[in-house]
């Protein structure tokens, strides 16, 4: 039996629950079903945080939910879920799952259910069964719309108060069932400031290798939750702490070595930057951070290729392609991100060219901004020329005609005595090969930061 925490004993107020979620819960209740708010939203409300989304659990079967809500559709093949849409908000309604329906292992055990209805009935279950498939006690509380009480089967209520991340069941077994739970643990530690139970922490350290078997597309979803939700730096620290970061970004980890120097600073600056953007409600793209993670290794590889006789520009392009390919075996980004990422890495070669039509075209291209942001980060840790970074910064602040002038496009001269920025003096770094067939730009290929 659950511990039932009555309305007067907890802090969840309906005023903090999405109106649409409430609508769904009340309609389920009025139709005679159970309706609970569940998972992260109950946890976040108890912590006084605004939930990202509101998930509902019910004893109504998906078809029943579908029939109750005109604005709903069913998704998923075996575990069907209802998505109920209200404008931009989607309330996900899941039927209680029966035992033996683990996300991964269960999928195999239940294959025979695919074809016939015979096994269908034990796909769904009661709330008492539903609770045990959840990962952490803090994620296993149910808020009951019938009387506004919270149902606690696992001790999650006190764990939330103590800010403890405790696994439901035996950590080793639960991590083996679904290794992504290790990343979820790191994420909740980062986002909520929870401390991990020692067995949870120990098991993650020893089972980290299991992440190698997780499909790269699923790891991309987790990447987004870890690194694009405002706590990227904290996530990174947690992942490093438990040895998970090298599992996700092997090339980055190899390039960084033991860390603690300007290489870590480069990575951490980028993470801080991303967090700031999220805090300011500015857009973020996953290709930027992944590109930052790869940059050092790309530059190193490019230097090798260039030493073998390839033009510097081509070397950078090839190195970016190579490392992006390797990284995709761990974390699969959709093409709409991976292509711009490679461009951003390659385009680091373009900043040295500070005059002419090509420089102007670069400045005005869609790809300039991300490449420039990366260049700035590099300049800040001494991996790129700060004077050149500054030149491009000031150039962007000019009106269009003065930009042309500064770049010496269309008119002669520019940059002197007419308010346009002074062109940076090129800092020569050793010997540069100049070849007839090479593009005008030559990248600064310093191996590493």
For ligand ATP, the binding residues in 205-244 under the rule CB under 6 A are 225
When asked if residue 286 is in the footprint of ligand ATP (CB under 6 A), the reply is no
Q: How far is CA 211 from the centre of its chain?
A: 16
- In whole angstroms, the minimum distance from the beta carbon of 136 to ligand ATP comes to 7
Catalytic-labelled residue, pool 55, 178, 352, 444: 55
What does 273 bind: Mg ion, ligand ATP, none (CB cut-off 5 to 8 Å by kind)?
none
Q: DSSP code of 9?
A: G
| Distant-in-sequence, close-in-space partners of 47: CB < 8 Å, separation ≥ 6 | 160, 192
Q: Find the shortest distance in angstroms from Cβ 143 to Mg ion.
A: 14
Closest CA to 301 of 321, 287, 328, 286: 321
Distance CA 163, CA 157 (A): 10
Asked if 130 interacts with ligand ATP (CB under 6 A), we say no
User: Based on CB atoms, which residue is closest to ligand ATP, 135 or 159?
Assistant: 135
Q: Is 347 within 8 Å of 384 (Cβ atoms)?
A: no
Provide, for the chain, the percentages of residues in helix, strand and coil under a 3-state DSSP scheme, each rounded to the nearest 5: 55, 10, 35
> For ligand ATP, which stretch binds (CB under 6 A), given 22-30, 177-185, 208-216, 295-303?
177-185
Closest CA to 448 of 245, 301, 350: 301
CB of 191 to Mg ion, least distance (A): 11
| 434 close to 441: Cβ distance less than 8 angstroms | no
Residues near ligand ATP (CB under 6 A), total? 14
What's the closest the beta carbon of residue 244 comes to ligand ATP, in angstroms?
15
Q: Give the whole-angstrom CA distance, residue 441 versus residue 364.
A: 17
Binding residues among 48-67 for ligand ATP as defined by CB under 6 A: 52, 55
Which one is catalytic: 16, 53, 64, 202? 53
Residue 40 engages ligand ATP in binding (rule: CB under 6 A)? yes
For the CA atoms of the chain, what is the radius of gyration?
27
Only one of the segments 64-72, 130-138, 193-201, 384-392 lies at the binding site for ligand ATP (rule: CB under 6 A); that segment is 130-138
225 binds, among Mg ion, ligand ATP, none (CB under 5 to 8 A by kind): ligand ATP
Kindly identify the residues of this chain, within the stretch 87-106, that bind ligand ATP according to CB under 6 A: 103
Task: Give the contact letters, 401-430, x = binds to ligand ATP (CB under 6 A), - = no.
Answer: ------------------------------
CB of 374 to ligand ATP, least distance (A): 28
CB of 51 to Mg ion, least distance (A): 7
Distance in angstroms between the alpha carbons of the first and the last residue of the chain:
58
The three-point CA angle 391-395-396 to 5° equals: 125
181 lines the binding site for ligand ATP (CB under 6 A):
yes
d(CA 269, CA 278): 14
The residue from 44, 135, 152, 312 that is catalytic is: 135
Indicate whether 134 belongs to the interface with ligand ATP (CB under 6 A): yes
Could you give the CA distance from residue 38 to residue 49 in angstroms, rounded to a whole number?
Answer: 15
Q: Look up residue 112 and give its two tokens.
A: 């025979």
Residue with tokens 């209802």: 82
Is 109 strand, coil or helix?
Answer: helix
Burial degree of 265 (CB within 10 A; 0-12, 13-18, 19+)? middle
Please report whether residue 135 would count as binding ligand ATP according to CB under 6 A. yes
Of the candidates 443, 444, 429, 441, the residue with the CA atom closest to the CA atom of residue 354: 441
Residue from 35, 39, 106, 443 in contact with ligand ATP (CB under 6 A): 39
Q: Could you tell me how many residues make up the chain? A: 449
**Smallest distance, Å, CB 225 to ligand ATP?**
6
> Could you tell me the smallest distance in angstroms from the CB atom of residue 37 to Mg ion?
11
Residue 151 or 295: the one with the smaller Cβ distance to ligand ATP is 151
Residue 135 among the catalytic residues: yes
Active site residue 261: no
Residue 178 contacts ligand ATP per CB under 6 A: yes
Q: Quick one: which segment of 111-119, 132-140, 272-280, 417-425 binds ligand ATP (CB under 6 A)?
A: 132-140
Question: Which residues have C-beta within 8 Å of that of residue 318, sequence separation ≥ 6?
Answer: 302, 305, 310
Nearer to ligand ATP, 226 or 297 (CB): 226
**Among ligand ATP, Mg ion, none, what does residue 350 contact (CB within 5–8 Å per kind)?**
none
Point out which residues bind Mg ion (CB under 5 A): 40
What are phi and psi for residue 92, nearest 5 degrees?
-95, 125
Catalytically annotated residues? 53, 55, 135
Binding footprint of ligand ATP on the chain (CB under 6 A): 39-40, 52, 55, 103, 133-135, 139-140, 178, 180-181, 225
């Amino acid at each position: 039996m659950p511990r039932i925490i009555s309305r007067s004993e907890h802090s969840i107020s309906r005023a903090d629950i999405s109106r649409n979620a409430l609508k769904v819960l009340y309609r389920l209740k009025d139709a005679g079903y159970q309706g609970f708010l569940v998972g992260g939203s109950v946890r976040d409300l108890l912590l006084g945080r605004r939930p990202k989304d509101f998930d509902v659990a019910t004893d109504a079967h998906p078809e029943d939910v579908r029939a109750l809500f005109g604005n709903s559709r069913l998704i998923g093949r075996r575990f069907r879920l209802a998505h109920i849409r209200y404008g931009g908000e989607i309330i996900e309604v899941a039927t209680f799952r029966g035992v033996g329906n683990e996300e991964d292992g269960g999928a195999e055990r239940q294959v025979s259910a695919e074809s016939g209805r015979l096994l269908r009935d034990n796909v769904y279950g009661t709330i008492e069964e539903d609770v045990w498939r959840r990962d952490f006690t803090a994620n296993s509380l149910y808020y009951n719309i019938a009387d506004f009480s919270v149902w606690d089967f696992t001790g999650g209520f006190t764990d939330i108060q103590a800010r403890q991340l405790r696994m439901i069941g035996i950590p080793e077994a639960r991590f083996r069932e679904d290794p992504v739970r290790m990343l979820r643990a790191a994420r909740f530690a980062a986002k909520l400031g929870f401390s991990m139970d020692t067995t949870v922490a120990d098991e993650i350290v020893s089972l980290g290798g299991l992440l190698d078997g997780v499909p790269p597309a699923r790891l991309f979803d987790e990447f987004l939750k870890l690194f694009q939700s405002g706590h990227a730096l904290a996530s990174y620290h947690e992942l490093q702490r438990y040895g998970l970061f090298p599992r996700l970004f092997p090339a980055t980890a190899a390039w960084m070595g033991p860390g603690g120097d300007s290489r870590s600073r480069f990575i951490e600056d980028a993470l801080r930057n991303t967090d700031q953007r999220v805090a300011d409600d500015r857009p973020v793209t996953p290709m930027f951070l992944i590109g930052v993670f790869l940059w050092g290794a790309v530059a190193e590889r490019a230097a090798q290729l260039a030493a073998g006789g390839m033009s510097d520009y081509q070397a950078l392009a090839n190195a970016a392609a190579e490392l992006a390919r390797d990284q995709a075996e761990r974390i699969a980004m959709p093409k709409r991100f991976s292509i711009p990422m490679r461009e951003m890495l390659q385009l680091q070669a373009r900043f040295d060219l500070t005059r002419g039509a090509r420089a102007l075209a670069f400045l005005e291209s869609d790809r300039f901004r991300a490449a420039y942001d990366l260049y700035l980060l590099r300049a800040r840790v001494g991996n790129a020329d700060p004077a050149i970074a500054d030149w491009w910064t000031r150039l962007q602040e000019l009106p269009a005609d003065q930009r042309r002038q500064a770049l010496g496009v269309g008119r002669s001269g520019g940059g002197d005595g007419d308010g346009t920025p002074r062109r940076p003096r090129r800092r020569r770094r050793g010997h540069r090969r100049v070849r007839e067939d090479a593009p005008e730009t030559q990248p600064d290929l310093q191996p590493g930061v």
